[in-house]
């Protein structure tokens, strides 16, 4: 008889194990058996909860997106100015929870796999749209719309690029330097716009 209430805990354990396995391997070349072992459940139970490995990978990516959305929403809720909204979005993307070595490796692996997986490509498009929208929520009050779109796109590219660069290094991710780099770009663009007025 299955224990009542265990399914959400086991699903979460399997998703965490997936992130851990991808982070260690640096690719999606992990087996359901390996993931199940890390989660402390049988391979059969992992298949029962998620079906095929591709379904577990998609669930893992949805989980990462959901965590990022929750954190971003909370940060934007307390941001009191348009400029603070943009900084909040940047900070969340480099927070201790988001900018961990295994999470970074998982994102990079998902980007690679999205080239051949329509489901993962769709999830990455959702991520990109949300990031652009969240950045625009502050930038449109600081810059003309066309300029705001350009700065939001470049800021998002910097965030994604810093994840890629970080995935290629060893050691603990340096969130403070990543935030400083993106903030420096943003401040430069805002100062240029203010001088042009």
Residue pLDDT, tens place only, 121-158: 999 999 999 999 999 999 999 999 999 999 999 999 99
Look-up: residue for tokens 């298949």? Answer: 47
Establish if 157 belongs to a structural domain: yes
Count: domains in the chain: 1
pLDDT score at 196: 83
The mean per-residue pLDDT over the stretch 42-71 comes to 93
Burial of 97 (0-12, 13-18, 19+ CB in 10 A): exposed
Q: Is residue 30 in a domain? A: no
How many angstroms separate the first and last alpha carbons of the chain?
70
User: CATH no. for residue 120?
Assistant: 1.10.357.10
**pLDDT band, very low/low/confident/very high, at 1 (cuts 50, 70, 90):** very low
Residue 107 located in a structural domain: yes
Q: What percent of the chain has pLDDT over 70?
A: 98
Residue 28 lies in a domain: no
The answer to whether residue 179 is domain-embedded is yes
The domain containing residue 169 runs over which residues? Answer: 54-196
DSSP 129: H
Q: Tell me how far apart the alpha carbons of residues 95 and 196 are, in angstroms, rounded to a whole number.
A: 33
Residue 2 has pLDDT above 60, yes or no: no
Domain annotation covers residue 130: yes
């Amino acid at each position: 008889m299955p224990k009542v209430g265990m399914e959400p805990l086991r699903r979460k354990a399997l998703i965490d194990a997936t992130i851990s396995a991808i982070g260690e391997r640096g690719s999606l070349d992990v087996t359901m058996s390996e993931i199940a072992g890390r989660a402390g459940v049988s391979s059969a139970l992992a298949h029962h909860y998620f079906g095929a490995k591709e379904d577990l990978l998609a669930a893992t990516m949805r989980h990462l997106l959901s965590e990022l959305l929750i954190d971003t929403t909370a940060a934007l809720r307390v941001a009191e100015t348009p400029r603070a909204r943009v900084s909040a979005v940047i900070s969340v993307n480099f927070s201790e929870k988001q900018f961990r070595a295994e999470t970074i490796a998982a994102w990079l692996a998902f980007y690679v796999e999205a080239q051949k997986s329509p489901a993962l490509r769709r999830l990455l498009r959702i991520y990109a749209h949300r990031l652009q929208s969240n950045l625009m929520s502050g930038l449109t009050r600081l810059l003309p719309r066309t300029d705001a779109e350009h700065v939001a796109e470049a800021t998002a590219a910097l965030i994604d690029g810093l994840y890629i660069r970080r995935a290629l290094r060893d050691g603990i991710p340096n969130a403070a330097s990543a935030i400083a780099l993106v903030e420096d770009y943003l401040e430069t663009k805002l100062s240029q716009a203010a001088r042009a007025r």
